[in-house]
Amino acid sequence: MRRFSKLYFFVVLVIIAIIVYMFVSIDKIENELRSNIQNIFITQAKSLASNIETKLKRTYPEGISKKAFENLKKRIQLQESVELLITPVYQYVYVLYKDKNGNYRYFVDGSPFEERGEFDQKLDVDKSKWDTVYDTRKDLVFKQNLETVWTTLLHPVAYCDETELIVAIDFSMKLPLEVTETIEPLKTLFVYVFVAIAVLVLIVLFQIFSSIKMKKQSYIDPLTGAYNRNFLRDFITAHDINSFAILMVDIDHFKQINDNYGHKVGDMVLRDVAHLFGECLRQEDVVVRFGGEEFLIFLKNEAKNPEELLKVVKRLHATIERHSFFYDGLVLKVTVSIGVNLEPHHFKSTSDAIKHADELLYTAKRTGRNKIVTDSGYQQRCENNKKSIYETKEALEEGRILCYYQPIIDAKTDTIVKYEALVRMIDKDDTVIGPPFFLQNILHTNLYNELTKLVVHEVFATIKRTSNAISLNLNFSDIVDEKLFKIIIEEIEANKEVADKLTVELLEYEVLENYENVKKNISKIRSYGVRIALDDFGSGYANYTVFKEIDIDIIKIDGSIIKDIETSEVLYDIAKSIVVLAKSLNIETVAEFVHSKGVYEKIKELDITYAQGFYLGKPEKMDY
Amino acid sequence: MKNVLLIALLSFTLLFGSKIETEKKIYDTIIHAVLPNYETVRLWSDSKVLLEELGSLRGIQVVNDVHDADIAIVTKRSDLKCDCLLFVTSYPLLKRYKNRAIGGFFWQKGRPNILFLQPNLQKNGIELPPSMRQFVEDDF
C-alpha cells in the first residue's frame, strides 16, 4: 500500500513538474518568438535606413551643403520617397541634422501629415543617444518611454567620415501588440492544454483516492473492523514475516454463545474482542479476522525477545478473560485459546508458519481451552523429525501412510499366531517414520479420524487377503469418541465375517473417566467377535479396576518390563505377578520387546502366552 | 542641474504618469519660468479642457477674460488681441503668432517639444532660467 502511495505521489509530482516546465517554457517561447519577430522588423528597418542613406547620397553626392538646404524640390522628392516607407509598424521615418547649437532639426520627414515636422524645425530628442550615433557613426536601436513610440532605430549618414544626417525610424507600439496578438492563440492553446492536463491530473488523483479508499475498504472486515483475508494475502506478500510472531486466537465456545444468545450477541462479542485486541496491541501489530471466531495476529518482534512477546500475549489473554461483555442486560465472560508461533523463520513459507500457529491453537483447544500454547520446543521437535498436521495430511492423501506388521509368536509352539499392525508414514525420501513422529500432532483432529479409518480398513483388507489374525492399536479415547467409534464400528460391520480375527489393543495410558461409555462401546466391539487387549500394561497409569469394568481378553506386558527381565529380578517378579493375575482372570498374555534369545527364554519360563519383538520378527510390509 | 531635473521630470512623467499629468507639470514649469515673480499667475486659454487641467495647479488662477490674463495659451487660430503673454500649443500656431508668442509646447512623434522665441522673450523682458535656455530659438 505504502509502495503504491509512493508511486502515485511520484507520478503526480512528475506530471506537476512537466506542467510547470511547460508553463515556464511558454513564457520563454513567447519571449523568443517576440524577440525573433522584432529582430525581423529591426533588420528590415536597418535595410530601409540604408536605402534612405543611399538615396540621400545619390541626391546629395557631395554632402549636405547650404545648397542642399535651399533646394526645396529635391527635398520634396526625397520626402515623397521616405513617405512610402510609412507602415503601421514604421510609424515615423525622418531625417534630422544637427545644428551648430547641438539641436536636432528636420531635414526630411516622411511621417504622416499631422505628425510631420517642417524643414529646419527643432525636435526635442534624447540627445545623449543621438549624439552617440552622431559621434560613433554606428546604428543604435533603443526602447522609448513614449506613449506611441515603442523603439527607435537611428542610422547615421556620413560623408567623408563626418556624420551629417541621422535617419530615424520610430517603431509603433502596434508592433509588440501585434506580436502579442500573434502569439495569443498559441498561448490560449497552451492554456487549454494545461487546463486539460490539470483536469486529467485531478481525475487521476480522484481515481487514486477512490482506489485507495476502495482497497482499504476491501481490506477491512466490516463486522469487527479488523483486517480480512484480502489484506492478509497482500500483507504476507509485502512484509518480512520473520520479524513477527504469529498468534492464532480462537474464542472459546463461541458456537455456544451464538446458539444460546443469538448471532447478535455473537457479533457483539466478535466486535468487542477485536476492539480489545486493538487496545492491547501496538500500532505495528496486525490483527486479521481469519475465520468465524478465529483471529490471526502478527506481533512485531524485531527485538526477537520471546519473553517480552509472551508478556504481550498473556496480557491480551488476561484482558479478554477479565473483560465483561454486555449486551441488552446480558453479561458474558469470554475466554480465548491462543497458539503462538514465536519462530516463523523456521518455516519454509508464511503459510506454513500460520499453519503451525493453527496447530498450536488446536493443541490449546484440545487440552482444555482458555490457554496459551507456544512453540518454544518447536525447534527441538524439528530436530526429532516430527511431522506437522499438514505433512501428515499430505502423506495420507498421497497414500504414504500404511501398516507394517510384526509377528506375534506362540511361546509354546514357536509359531506365528497373529500380527500386530503398526502404522507407518513413508516420508518423501522413503524414510519409514514411526507414529510418535506424526500421530501426536493429529490427535483430536479430523485427520486422526481419517487415519484411523484407513488403518482399520487396511487391517481388515489384510485379514481377508491373508487370513491372518491381526491386532490393531487404538486409544481408549478412540472408543469414547462417538464420531470415531462410529467409523470403527462401520468398518467392523463391513467386515464382520472376519471380525473374529481382529484384536483391538487399547492403550492404557489415558485416564478413564467414563467407564459406562467405554464398557458399552467395548461390548459392542466384542459382539462382533473382536478380541480386546490391554496394551503396555505395567507402565504409566496401570489401573487394576479396569479388569472389573471391562472384559479384557489379552494383556500386553509393557516392553519396559520385558526388555530387562533377563537381568532384573524385580522386573521378572513384576512380569510374573502380571502373568499370575492374568491367569486368574483367564486372560492371555503377550510379552513385548523380546529382543534376545535370553529374554525369550524367560518369557517361556514365565509361561507368557505370546511373545513379540525384534528377536522374533521386525515390523514389515505384509506380502500377499 | 535644473536642466537635468527637468529632463528627469519629463522622463519620469512620461514613464509613469499620464500624458495630461505630464502636460500639467510642463506647463507649470514653463509658466513659473516665464513669470517667476508672480505669486499667482492669471491664465486664460481658448481651450476649456486645458483651463480645467491647469486650473488645479497651485499659483495659477484661471480667468475668463483674456484681458485679465497674465498669460494666454492659444490652441487654435484666432484674431486674439491682448497685452498678455502668448503661448501656443502647436508649431503652425507658433509660426502664426511668431511675432507675439513667446513660445509653444506641443507633442510631436510622441515627444514633448518646447520652443521659446528669443526675440519675443526679449520684447517682454523675460529671462528664462538656464534650464530652459536649450529650448530657446534665436531665429525663427
pLDDT at residue A431 greater than cutoff 90:
no
Cell digits of residue A180:
502579442
pLDDT higher than 70, residue A196: yes
CB-CB under 8 Å, B110 with A144: yes
Most confident of A191-205, A388-402, A495-509, B97-111: B97-111
pLDDT surpassing 80 at residue A23? no
User: CA–CA distance from B78 to each of A456, B62, B117 (Å)?
Assistant: 141, 20, 20
Which residues of B have a CB under 8 Å from any CB of A?
11, 14-15, 19, 91, 108-115, 134-135, 137
DSSP codes, A261-290: H-HHHHHHHHHHHHHHHHHHS-TT-EEEE-
% of chain B residues with pLDDT over 70: 87
CB–CB of A247/A299 below 8 Å?
Answer: yes
Residue A1 has pLDDT above 60, yes or no: no
Which position has the higher pLDDT, A445 or A235? A235
Q: Which of A369, A275, A292, A389 is nearest to A326 (CA)?
A: A275
Residues 6 or more apart in contact with residue B46 via CB below 8 angstroms: B73, B74, B75, B76, B78, B80
Q: How far is CA A579 from the centre of its chain?
A: 64
Q: Which residues of B touch A124 (CB under 8 A)?
A: 111-114, 135
- Facing B114 at nearest CB: one of A124, A144, A170: A124
Element housing B62 (H / E): strand B60-62
Taking an 8 Å cut-off on Cβ atoms, the answer to whether A117 and B109 are in contact is yes
CA distance B11 to B104: 19
Task: Name the minimum distance, in Å, from the CA of A79 to any CA of chain B.
Answer: 17
pLDDT tens by residue, A541-558: 556 777 888 889 999 998
Structure-derived torsion over alpha carbons of residues A223, A225, A231, A232, reported in degrees to the nearest 10: -80
Most A-contacting residue of B93, B107, B108 (CB-CB within 10 A), to test interface:
B108
What gap in Å lies between CA A146 and CA A129, rounded to an integer? 15
Give the integer Cα–Cα distance in Å for A27 and A349.
58
pLDDT of residue B16: 45
Q: Which residue has the higher pLDDT, A181 or A153?
A: A153
Strand partners, A27: none
What whole-number distance in Å separates Cα of residue A262 and Cα of residue A255?
Answer: 10
Partner-chain residue, chosen from A118, A122, A149, that has the shortest CB–CB distance to B110: A149
Residue A31 neighbours by CB distance under 10 Å: 11
What is the reported pTM? 0.47
Q: CB–CB of A111 and B109 under 8 A?
A: yes
Rounded to whole angstroms, the Cα distance separating A248 from A242 reads 16
Whether residue A382 is predicted with pLDDT greater than 70 in this model: the reply is no
Which amino acid, one-letter code, is at B51?
L
Distance CA A353, CA A358 (A): 9
pLDDT score of A3: 57
Best to test chain A binding among B90, B109, B111 (most A CBs inside 10 Å): B109
d(CA A448, CA A17): 65
Bridge pairing between strands A162-172 and A140-143: unpaired
pLDDT of residue A489: 93
Q: A51: distance to nearest CA of chain B, Å?
A: 22
Say what the alpha-carbon torsion angle A568, A569, A570, A571 is, to the nearest 10 degrees.
Answer: 60
Give, for B23, the enclosing helix (H) or strand (E).
helix B19-34
Q: What angle do CA B66, B67, B69 make, to 5 degrees?
A: 65
Here the CATH number for the domain that contains residue B117 is 3.40.50
Spatial separation of the C-alpha atoms in residues A523 and A516, rounded to whole Å: 11
Any CB–CB contact under 8 A between A122 and chain B?
yes
> Please, which residues 83-102 of chain A have a Cβ atom closer than 8 Å to chain B?
91-92, 94
Note the pLDDT of residue A480: 81
Task: Kindly state the helix (H) or strand (E) to which residue A407 belongs, with its residue range.
Answer: strand A401-410
Closest residue in chain B to residue A124, using alpha carbons only: B113
DSSP assignment of A135-202, as one string? Answer: HH---EEEE---SSEEEEEEEEEEETTEEEEEEEEEEETHHHHHHHHHHHHHHHHHHHHHHHHHHHHH
Q: Which of A300-304, A306-310, A478-482 has the lowest mean pLDDT?
A: A300-304
Distance between CA A360 and CA A365 in Å, rounded? 9
Find cell 490427535 and name the residue.
Answer: A443
A351 touches chain B (CB under 8 A): no
Distance (Å, rounded) from C-alpha A585 to C-alpha A571?
A: 21
Q: Do A147 and B15 touch (CB under 8 A)?
A: no
CB neighbours of A351 closer than 8 A, spacing ≥ 6?
A: A236
Higher pLDDT: A251 or A390? It is: A251
Q: Which three cell numbers stand for residue B99?
A: 511675432
Which pLDDT tens digit goes with each residue over A559-585? 889 988 988 898 999 999 999 999 999
**How buried is A457 (Cβ within 10 angstroms: 0-12 exposed, 13-18 middle, 19+ buried)?**
middle
**Which helix H or strand E contains A284, and what residues bound it?**
none
Q: What is the pLDDT of residue A417?
A: 94
Question: Helices A389-397 and A446-466 sit at what angle, rounded to 10 degrees?
Answer: 40
Phi, psi of A13 (to 5 degrees): -60, -45
pLDDT tens digits, A476-503: 878 888 888 999 999 999 999 999 999 9
Min Cα distance B31 → chain A (Å) is 19
> Would you state the cell numbers that stand for residue A600, as one nine-digit string?
525369550
Are A122 and B108 in contact (CB < 8 Å)? no
> How does pLDDT run across A90-131, given as a tens digit for each residue?
999 999 999 988 999 999 999 998 889 998 899 999 999 999
**B15 pLDDT tier (thresholds 50, 70, 90):** very low
Of A224, A353, A343, the residue nearest A276 (C-alpha): A224
Nearest to A161 by CA among A266, A63, A307, A300: A63
Size of chain A, expressed as the number of residues it contains: 624
The cell numbers describing A378, all together, are 518447536
Bridge partner residues of A84 (DSSP): none
Does residue A27 have a pLDDT over 80?
A: no
- For A392, the grid coordinates are 501428515
Give phi and psi for B104, each to the nearest 5: -150, 155
Question: What is the ipTM metric for this complex?
Answer: 0.83
Interchain pair A148, B110: CB under 8 A: yes
- Of the candidates A209, A185, A23, which has an alpha carbon nearest to the alpha carbon of residue A201? A209
C-alpha cell at A40: 525581423
Tell me A318's DSSP state: H
Inter-chain residue contact B109 with A170, CB threshold 8 Å: yes
Instruction: Using an 8 Å CB-CB cutoff, list chain B residues near A111.
Output: 109
Q: Looking at beta carbons, which residues of chain A come within 8 Å of B114?
A: 124
- Give me Rg for the CA atoms of chain A: 53
Dump pLDDT digits (tens) for B64-94: 999 999 999 999 988 888 889 999 999 999 9
Chain A neighbors of B134, CB-CB under 8 A? 103
What mean pLDDT comes out for the span B2-15?
48
DSSP class of A620: B
State how far the Cα of A107 lies from the Cα of B135, in Å rounded to an integer.
19
Count: domains in chain B? 1
Percentage of residues in chain A having pLDDT higher than 70? 95
- What residues of chain B lie within 8 A of the CB of A118, using their CB? 91
Q: How many CB atoms lie within 10 A of CB A165?
A: 25
Strands (E), A498-600: 502-507, 531-537, 554-557, 588-591
The H or E element spanning position B66 is none
For residue A54, what pLDDT is reported?
93
Burial of A337 (0-12, 13-18, 19+ CB in 10 A): buried
Partnered with residue A299 across adjacent β-strands are A245
| Per-residue pLDDT reduced to its tens digit, A73-89 | 888 889 999 999 998 88
Going from the N-terminus, what domains does chain A have, and what CATH number goes with each?
Answer: 2-178 (3.30.450.20), 229-383 (3.30.70.270), 389-611 (3.20.20.450)
Instruction: Confirm if A340 and A378 have CB atoms less than 8 A apart.
Output: no
What is the SS3 assignment for A327? Answer: strand
Q: Would you tell me the crossing angle of helices A2-59 and A72-83 to the nearest 10 degrees?
A: 160
With cell 514357536, the residue in question is A414
Domain holding B93, by residue range, is 2-137
* Cβ contact, residue pair B134, A103, below 8 Å: yes
Give the span between the Cα atoms of A549 and A523, in whole angstroms: 11
